[in-house]
Chains A and B, each alone.
Chain A
Amino acid sequence: MADATNPIKQFEIHPIADLTIGGLNLSFTNSSYFMVVSVILVSGLLSLAMTKRALVPGRSQSVAEMLYEFVAGMIRSTAGDDGLKFFPFVFTLFAFILMGNMLGMMPYFPAPEFHGFTFTSHIIVTFALAVLVMLVVVGYGVMKNGLKFFSIFFPSGVPPVLYILVTPIEIISFLSRPVTLGGRLFANMLAGHILLKVFAGFIVMLGSVGALGVLGAVAPLVMVVALTALEFLVAFLQAYVFAVLTCIYLSDALHPGHH
């Protein structure tokens, strides 16, 4: 019963199928399960929406196209038209994170242990995604611009003397990007889900006290409803923020000159 009100329980990882390769524990867990479900849902729903590929789109096709145009517009406005070569990457990031966040909003899910799980509430996952973004940025930036890429550490319009001060700051800010990028998503999802579960736990606790408790439980119930709405917003917003920041960082790799 303690599990019911334990706000941390939802973040636990349970192995489903054990797998060890080279001494590494690579078990298929409920986290992996949700990732796979995300992949299946994203690709399945989008494919399903596009089966007819009608000239005049139906409802689902409209949504798929809206999502497409949304991400394309986001890239165009932040990284310019040449940023569109990263469109599949940004779209995959956005869709994957969005689906993960949204799946996390399900309190119960046909999953092992039957508790909802948000793989974006695990720092290793968000950090890995952020590092992937930075690797793409640095990799592409160096490949395309060579050493000129590192001019992002020497912003134009600054007197050269100040580079002593500015450049270390730029380097630190660049290096902290994966931390903030991954940390933001992780912290938002973690905090939101803990908060939800804490208030939901109040309902259970108050409800078991008696008639007065049941009456008092209305307040946290209202709170949970409101928080759920907020969390849906956050789930979308954080996926969006992640994608937008990715675009902005990619813009550095595309045009390191104007910083």
Chain B
Amino acid sequence: MAMTQPIDTAPIDAEAAFPPFDPTYFASQLFWLAISFAVLYFLLSRFILPRIGGAIEERRDRIADDLDTAAHMRDQANETVRAYEKSQADPRARAQRVAAGAKAEADAEIAEAVREADARLDAQQAESEARIREARGAALKEVRSIAAGAAAAITERLAGLDVTAADAEKAVDAVRKG
């Protein structure tokens, strides 16, 4: 409590001026400032800053290099993919062509076979029909001669008439027509 009084009113070292404006040490401050600043400038500009700048530069170069390499590799990969696709495309087209050719050939063969078979069957059919017709004609002719024979035999037995085969046939014809 007793202390607060003198503190509030204590004259601030009456003999000394306000220290920041006290010129006593101006020369000393300037002198040491010049030395410190010069030394710091020398150290920084000669050794430290180039070191930091060098490290940054090195990293930037390295990153740029790596990016270049990466871009180069990507191009290469793209190139490979393109080449691969091209190499794939050629055989595929050829395969397609071959398949299409084979298919066309097969189709043609099939059509040919079908046509041949049709022709053969038609011919067979025509032949068979002719044979049937012939057989029928023959059969009919035989029917006529049998009928004539039978008529002559019947006539001979019933009427005792001797009928010639030609007459009998004529009579059969007349009956069949009539």
Residue of A with least CB distance to B32? A32
Interface membership of A35, Cβ < 8 A: yes
Q: For B21, B25, B31, B59, which residue has the most chain A Cβ atoms within 10 angstroms?
A: B25
Residue of B with least CB distance to A210? B1
Tell me which residues across on chain A come within 8 A of B24, comparing CB atoms: 13, 25
Interface membership of A142, Cβ < 8 A: no
Whether the pair A8, B12 counts as a contact (CB closer than 8 A) is yes
Whether the pair A69, B27 counts as a contact (CB closer than 8 A) is no
Tell me which residues across on chain A come within 8 A of B59, comparing CB atoms: 55, 57
What does the 1/0 interface line of B1-22 toward A look like (CB < 8 Å)? 1011011101011001011111
Interface membership of A50, Cβ < 8 A: yes
Interface membership of A64, Cβ < 8 A: yes
What does the 1/0 interface line of B35-55 toward A look like (CB < 8 Å)? 011011101110111011111
| A36 CB → nearest B CB, Å | 6
Q: For B1, B29, B30, B62, which residue has the most chain A Cβ atoms within 10 angstroms?
A: B29
- The B-contacting residues of A in range 5-45, CB under 8 angstroms, are 5-6, 8, 11-13, 15, 19, 24-29, 31-32, 35-36, 38-39, 42-43
Tell me which residues across on chain B come within 8 A of A89, comparing CB atoms: 41, 45
Assuming the contacts A92-B44, A96-B40, A208-B4, asked whether A28 and B19 have C-beta atoms less than 8 A apart, the reply is no
Whether the pair A125, B28 counts as a contact (CB closer than 8 A) is no
Q: Please measure, in the bound complex, the distance between the C-alpha atom of A155 and the C-alpha atom of B121, giving whole angstroms.
A: 115
Whether the pair A123, B21 counts as a contact (CB closer than 8 A) is yes
Q: Please measure, in the bound complex, the distance between the C-alpha atom of A106 and the C-alpha atom of B29, giving whole angstroms.
A: 20
Q: Which of A1, A8, A15, A68 contacts B19 (CB 8 A)?
A: A8
Interface membership of B84, Cβ < 8 A: no
Whether the pair B41, A35 counts as a contact (CB closer than 8 A) is no
Whether the pair A29, B29 counts as a contact (CB closer than 8 A) is yes
Interface membership of A239, Cβ < 8 A: no
Whether the pair B49, A12 counts as a contact (CB closer than 8 A) is no
Q: Which of B27, B37, B40, B51 contacts A25 (CB 8 A)?
A: B27
Q: For B24, B26, B36, which residue has the most chain A Cβ atoms within 10 angstroms?
A: B36
Interface membership of A249, Cβ < 8 A: no
Residue of A with least CB distance to B40? A39
Whether the pair B29, A119 counts as a contact (CB closer than 8 A) is yes
Interface membership of A148, Cβ < 8 A: no
Tell me which residues across on chain B come within 8 A of A25, comparing CB atoms: 24-25, 27-28
- The B-contacting residues of A in range 197-212, CB under 8 angstroms, are 201, 205, 208-210
Tell me which residues across on chain A come within 8 A of B49, comparing CB atoms: 68, 87-88, 91
20 other contacts beyond A8-B18, A88-B44, A91-B44, with CB at 8 A cut-off?
A: A8-B19, A12-B19, A13-B24, A24-B31, A25-B24, A26-B28, A29-B25, A36-B32, A38-B36, A39-B43, A43-B44, A47-B47, A53-B54, A57-B55, A57-B59, A61-B55, A92-B40, A123-B21, A124-B29, A128-B33
A contact set with B: CB distance below 8 Å? 1-2, 5-6, 8, 11-13, 15, 19, 24-29, 31-32, 35-36, 38-39, 42-43, 46-47, 50, 53-55, 57, 61, 64-65, 68-69, 87-89, 91-92, 95-96, 119, 121-125, 128-129, 132, 186, 190, 201, 205, 208-210
Which 10 pairs, one residue from A and one from B, show the smallest C-beta to C-beta distance?
A: A88-B45, A32-B32, A35-B36, A11-B19, A43-B43, A92-B41, A24-B27, A39-B40, A26-B31, A68-B52
B contact set with A: CB distance below 8 Å? 1, 3-4, 6-8, 10, 12-13, 16, 18-22, 24-34, 36-37, 39-41, 43-45, 47-49, 51-56, 58-59, 62
